[in-house]
A and B are shown apart, each in its own frame.
Chain A
Amino acid sequence: MPYGTVAEQISPQIQQALIGIVGKENVICGHEELLVYECDAYTLEKNLPNAVVLPRNSKEVAEVVRLCAKHNLPIIPRGAGTSLSGSVLAVTGGVMIGLARMNRILDLDHRNRRALVEGGCVNAWVTNAAKSHGLLYAPDPSSQSACTIGGNVAMNSGGPHTLKYGVTTNHVLGYEIVLPDGEVLWFGTTPDGGEDVDGYDLRGTAIGSEGMFGIVTRVLVRLIKAPQAFKTMLGIFESVDDASQTVSDIIAAGIVPGALEMMDQLITQAVEAAYHFGFPTDAGAVLIVELDGLGAGLDKQAERVVEICKQNRAREVRMAKTEQERADLWKSRKRAFGAIGRLSPNFLTQDGVVPRSQLPAIMKFIRQTSEECGLRIPNVFHAGDGNIHPLVLYDERDPDQVRRAIDAGNVILEKCIELGGSATGEHGIGVEKIDFMEKQFTKDDLDAMRKLRSVFDPDQRCNPHKMFPGSKRCGDFHHRKQISA
């Protein structure tokens, strides 16, 4: 039996049992309906789960999980399916447990700056609900209007504002998790408890475990005070090197911007063609610098930033004068991936990290790689964090381009690791970057991770075939690999 094909359909008895738990309308078994769930936002590998269930509460999740445990079926937790690394791919089938029906905000405690939400609650809804209290939920992935808080916990998601505020693990106080054997536990701070909890930090240990330790059903998040004021600037540079140097100089000046994002010429052109924000299309790179905090003294800091941009030969520095201008600027950044459709039928998003000071080196390497493989590689990324997102453009109808795109992505990530960085800053390993684990970690490091997994999931049944070298791959992917070999 080749990998990726389903050994057998789940039996009618199990189907009936699932229906008995969540109701007929919340069980999906038909081939056509299952196609929606064949992949996430990583589309190079696809496979169908045997069934998708959409439970309405933790109790139903636990019952479904226990049923799967009894029949030794893989379980695959799924939020909104926005993962860019294939983290919710049903590699060998199994029962996919979607959190779509569990998307409520259960409580918002503004005095204690916490919100309690269900795992399927959309990221952006939390900040929207907190806004009227002058609060916000800091981690803001570009997919925040779709991605879920439970998915964010699984992936330890980031976003443009992580430079100053940190990532998901810094903002999740606690959560309810259904372990792979069906046991329901609460990790970390409880909804009515103090923030310090006795014991090992299970909460932190399971955040970012890519859905392999259990299913997150309710989450207690920390809200922070919304900044009183913003200074959002757009620096326009002749070259990526000048823009990169500006990033380093801002940091060296002791300024910690709320966000520090770079877009190179190719992506700026695409964004401009798509949304008409008035970006210069002949500039080598643009930097979005956002300072936030109290109003007092922010002007002075902004002046300092402008000065640093100018020292690095910025052609121009524009300041958003109104909230609308600021919103437009961010819209352009967050929709940049969407604009790529104008440049190419397909693109492969990479997610490497380098130490900030190595940005010029990695950008140069990407330019060389682009020339060598004959594919365009625009860049839009979290420059302040050293987190790059090269977008390798290709046409999937041309197998040779597919091969070259995969190869280009791989050598870029290898270079990131060589420069002291990581193969993933926020998208996760999933199935996509499994091959990089052995490049970034030793066998002993990986064994320790396997041990940790065995604590939570001794049967390796929860979101299996992810992260670890030697995992099974989808049949389709093997086919592609052969093309690329």
Chain B
Amino acid sequence: MPTLAPTDLTQLSELLSCASVKGERIDELNLSALNKIIEHRPEDMTVTVEAGKTVAALQTELRKQGQWLPIDPPNPETLTIGSLLAENLNGPRRLGFGTIRDWLIGIRVALADGTLIRSGGKVVKNVAGYDLMKAFVGSRGTLGVIVEATFKLRPVPEVESFAETTCDSLESADKLIQQVVDSPLCPVVLDLHQLPGSNPILVIGFAGTADEVEWQIGQAKTLGIQTPASLEYDRTFWSNTTPAHSVSVLPSKLVEALQKVDAPFLARAGNGIIYYRGAAPAVVTNPNTALMQRLKTTFDPRQTLPDFPFAK
């Protein structure tokens, strides 16, 4: 079936409703026609945006008012807000700013039968009703089609600064990471990455007022992290179109896990997340599978949307 590209919500709703009635499956949808910012309220630090807008285009608009959505996923120029949410993507600043679920305050979704629903709202604090938003984030489009989202925003930090150091070995990187964790520093980025045939590099990043960033850069220097750096390594890693595997471990066990990865890697050292390309990690059975499948069949009883996407 060709990719469907509805031009508005009514058409999307009809497409789903027809497919659902006929028992057909819609595997791919192109929502690029739904690309408007519906409402940006700088005074409330919130924005409501359609799912087809790219992350980069949204950030450009927000920046004009000195604000941003604190998330830095790979390839923001082509990544849409809908995919950002459905795939639950994030980037190096995750340590400082969390993941997209932490910023999402409202959502509009086309359910499998075309019904349009909302969850959450437009205010930054809201506990009315169940938090359906969380079910859709990271659901890879298998429970419904996200068509619109409202986010909390943050002021763009006055200053951002990065520093790095090359470590002799993974063990010495481990010690340095431990020192950072024990220090008063509040990094927004703490990444460890390694290319074939080279040593691991630890990158640290700070964001905030000029004073606090300057003070932290000074402190990082005393730990031996002093070469000015950028996040280019992250961009390079994700410009490779081969999908990467991801492994999540206790942050204290990061290096132990990295020793088993026989490939170039990119790791969020502060969060204990490793990305690499190579042999897939072992699949473990998930004791919650039956419940998750029940969630899937409840929201998509006629299999209109893509299949249950997780390992069983």
Contacts and interface: CB of A to CB of B under 8 A. Distances in A.
A185 B43 contact: no
A445 B108 CA distance: 10
Sort chain B's interface into a size bin.
35 or more
A131 to B, nearest CB: 15
A287 interface: no
Contact of A202 (B122, B208, B248, B291): B291
A274 to B, nearest CB: 27
A254 interface: yes
Contacts of A205: 130-132, 134-135, 295
Contacts of B98: 166, 170
A231 B247 CA distance: 40
B216 A187 contact: no
Nearest to B287: A185
Given A225-B186, A252-B43, A442-B117, A424 B212 contact: no
Interface string A238-250: 0000000000100
Nearest to A134: B184
A394 interface: no
A423 B129 CA distance: 10
A186 B292 CA distance: 13
A379 B204 CA distance: 44
Contacts of B181: 111
A447 B132 CA distance: 12
B115 interface: yes
Given A254-B158, A444-B116, A195 B272 contact: yes
Contact of A297 (B122, B155, B209): B209
Given A158-B125, A420-B123, A445-B118, A201 B130 contact: no
B291 A156 contact: no
Given A301-B209, A355-B122, A204 B216 contact: no
Contacts, number: 239
B262 interface: no
Interface in A153-182: 155-156, 158, 162-163, 166-167, 169-170, 179
Contact of B127 (A186, A256, A425, A453): A425
B217 to A, nearest CB: 11
A449 B132 contact: yes
A111 B175 CA distance: 13
Nearest to B90: A196
Contact of A425 (B125, B155, B273): B125
Interface in B170-199: 178, 181, 184, 186
Contacts of A251: 43, 45
A187 B287 CA distance: 10
Contacts of A140: none
Contacts of A192: 250
Contacts of A194: 247-250, 272-273
A385 interface: yes
A161 to B, nearest CB: 12
Q: Which of A111, A195, A197, A441 has the most CB of B within 10 A?
A: A195
B123 A425 contact: yes
Interface stretch (A48-56, A90-98, A265-273, A426-434): A426-434
B127 A297 contact: no
Interface string B119-140: 1011111111111111101110
A201 B288 CA distance: 11
B138 A200 contact: yes
A195 B271 contact: yes
A277 B178 CA distance: 43
Nearest to B104: A204
B210 interface: yes
Q: Which of B124, B125, B271 has the most CB of A within 10 A?
A: B125
B248 A196 contact: yes
Interface residues of A, number: 87
A300 B132 contact: no
A208 B42 CA distance: 28
A355 B46 contact: yes
Contacts of B216: 294, 296
A354 B123 contact: yes
A453 B156 CA distance: 39
A129 to B, nearest CB: 19
Interface in B254-294: 271-273, 286-289, 291-292, 294
Contacts of A385: 123-125
Contact of B43 (A354, A357, A454): A357
B111 interface: yes
Nearest to A167: B125
B125 A162 contact: yes
A334 B204 CA distance: 38
B168 interface: no
A81 interface: no
B211 A300 contact: yes
B123 A445 contact: no
Contacts of A382: 125
A453 B186 contact: no
A424 B291 contact: no
Sorted nearest first, the 5 A-B pairs with minimum C-beta distance are: A297-B211, A194-B248, A204-B134, A254-B155, A296-B215
Given A186-B287, A200-B139, A207-B131, 4 more contacts: A200-B296, A425-B123, A448-B115, A455-B294
19 contacts: A158-B125, A158-B127, A167-B125, A179-B291, A193-B248, A194-B248, A195-B273, A203-B134, A204-B134, A225-B184, A251-B43, A387-B125, A420-B122, A424-B126, A425-B123, A447-B115, A449-B119, A455-B291, A455-B294
